[in-house]
């Protein structure tokens, strides 16, 4: 019901997607809609392929089945040049920041502008300083990536991701490994950038609290399937065991504590020969 309403206004639409890594099934026929101008979160335990989903949306991986439609384009049907043109309008924030380590902060943010535009250096300077000001790090422009803290690196990467004024940004685990202050700063930043720049945001995360605070809509994924979806409130009240286990952080539940193995007693009593 939710889907049919949102699909008319969705910027990114994932349709009946299946993806395998080797023989391991990562996604099994999942469909998601990401509405324009909204913050949509994808949550789920680590190892469920959340990052893989972002790479599928960005066209870096190819699905076995199904389609990803971004702004009316079928990502995996595009020719290379068309895909690259589309990517100029898609920002992505990697978990590590993925800053180029041989350039300072200023040149990192200027990188997409220098690669894709023929703007004069004076204008690039103005644009870069504006982007850095937006993430509060204009004063750090001369630092090298190895001199930045994890939180700063992510904010610089965010400034770089918005350098070309994209229509959407994909955040890969933006809060992981951050102290409470940087977490708070990132939460604020993601929300305000989304509203001020009119972006569409996709957040992949397992930080329940922070994500619920800014997301308009949440999908919970586990073992290749969508196990719950709705507004943060609906998710909180969900009766699904999967969702409850994830939101409350129970060690055992539908997601087992133990990695699949043969029977414990049998295993202990067996000879232990290598096979």
Taking Cα atoms as reference points, which of 197, 196, 218, 194 lies closest to residue 208? 218
Using CB under 8 A, pick the residue from 87, 131, 141, 155 that binds other proteins: 87
Q: Which two tokens stand for residue 152?
A: 């700063």
> Which of these ranges, 95-103, 123-131, 174-182, 254-262, lies near other proteins under the rule CB under 8 A?
95-103
Site size toward other proteins, by CB under 8 A = 22
**Per-position x/- string for 48-77, each x denoting binding to other proteins as judged by CB under 8 A, each - no binding:** -------x--x-x-----------------
Integer Cα distance of 55 and 176 in angstroms: 18
Using CB under 8 A, pick the residue from 111, 119, 130, 232 that binds other proteins: 111
Using CB under 8 A, pick the residue from 112, 150, 232, 253 that binds other proteins: 112
Using CB under 8 A as the binding rule, whether residue 100 contacts other proteins is answered as: yes
CA angle 236, 242, 243 (to 5 degrees): 15
> Which of these ranges, 25-33, 108-116, 126-134, 188-196, lies near other proteins under the rule CB under 8 A?
108-116
Query: Least distance in Å: CB of 57 to other proteins?
Result: 10
Using CB under 8 A as the binding rule, whether residue 99 contacts other proteins is answered as: yes
Q: Cβ contacts of residue 66 below 8 Å, gap of 6+?
A: 14, 15, 16, 17, 18, 29, 31
Q: Which is nearer to other proteins, 86 or 130 (CB)?
A: 86
> Which of these ranges, 97-105, 206-214, 228-236, 250-258, lies near other proteins under the rule CB under 8 A?
97-105
Q: Which is nearer to other proteins, 103 or 197 (CB)?
A: 103
Q: Which is nearer to other proteins, 200 or 238 (CB)?
A: 200
Q: Which two tokens stand for residue 75?
A: 């990502």
Q: Which two tokens stand for residue 196?
A: 């001020």
Do residues 255 and 242 make contact, with C-beta atoms less than 8 angstroms apart? yes
Q: Cβ contacts of residue 236 below 8 Å, gap of 6+?
A: 212, 247
- C-alpha pair distances (Å), 41 with each of 50, 54, 171, 234: 10, 12, 9, 14
> In this structure, what DSSP letter does residue 201 have?
E
By DSSP bridging, strand 39-43 and strand 24-35 are unpaired
Using CB under 8 A as the binding rule, whether residue 94 contacts other proteins is answered as: yes
Residues lying near other proteins in the complex (CB under 8 A): 55, 58, 60, 84-85, 87-88, 90, 92, 94-96, 98-101, 111-112, 115-116, 157, 160
């Amino acid at each position: 019901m939710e889907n049919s309403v949102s699909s008319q206004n969705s910027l990114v639409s994932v349709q009946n997607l299946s993806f395998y890594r080797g023989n391991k099934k990562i996604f099994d026929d999942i469909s998601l809609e990401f509405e324009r101008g909204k913050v949509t979160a994808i949550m789920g335990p680590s190892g469920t392929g959340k990052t893989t989903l972002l790479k599928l949306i960005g066209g870096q991986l190819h699905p076995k089945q199904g389609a990803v439609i971004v702004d009316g384009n079928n990502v995996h049907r595009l020719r290379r040049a068309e895909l690259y043109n589309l990517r100029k309008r898609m920002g992505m924030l990697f978990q590590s920041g993925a800053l180029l380590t041989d350039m300072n902060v200023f040149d990192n943010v200027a990188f997409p502008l220098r690669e894709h535009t023929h703007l004069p250096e004076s204008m690039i300077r103005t644009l870069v300083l504006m982007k850095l000001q937006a993430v509060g790090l204009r004063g750090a422009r001369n630092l090298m990536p190895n001199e930045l803290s994890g939180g700063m690196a992510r904010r610089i990467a965010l400034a770089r991701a918005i350098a070309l004024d994209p229509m959407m940004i994909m955040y890969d685990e933006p809060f992981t490994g951050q102290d409470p202050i940087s977490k708070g700063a990132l939460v604020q930043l993601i929300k305000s950038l989304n509203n001020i720049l009119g972006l569409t945001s996709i957040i992949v995360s397992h930080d329940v609290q922070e994500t619920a605070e800014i997301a308009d809509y949440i999908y919970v994924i586990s073992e290749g399937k969508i196990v719950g979806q709705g507004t943060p409130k609906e998710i909180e009240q969900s009766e699904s065991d999967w969702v409850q286990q994830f939101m409350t952080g129970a060690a055992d539940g539908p997601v087992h504590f133990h990695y699949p193995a043969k029977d414990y007693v049998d295993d202990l009593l067996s000879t232990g020969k290598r096979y």
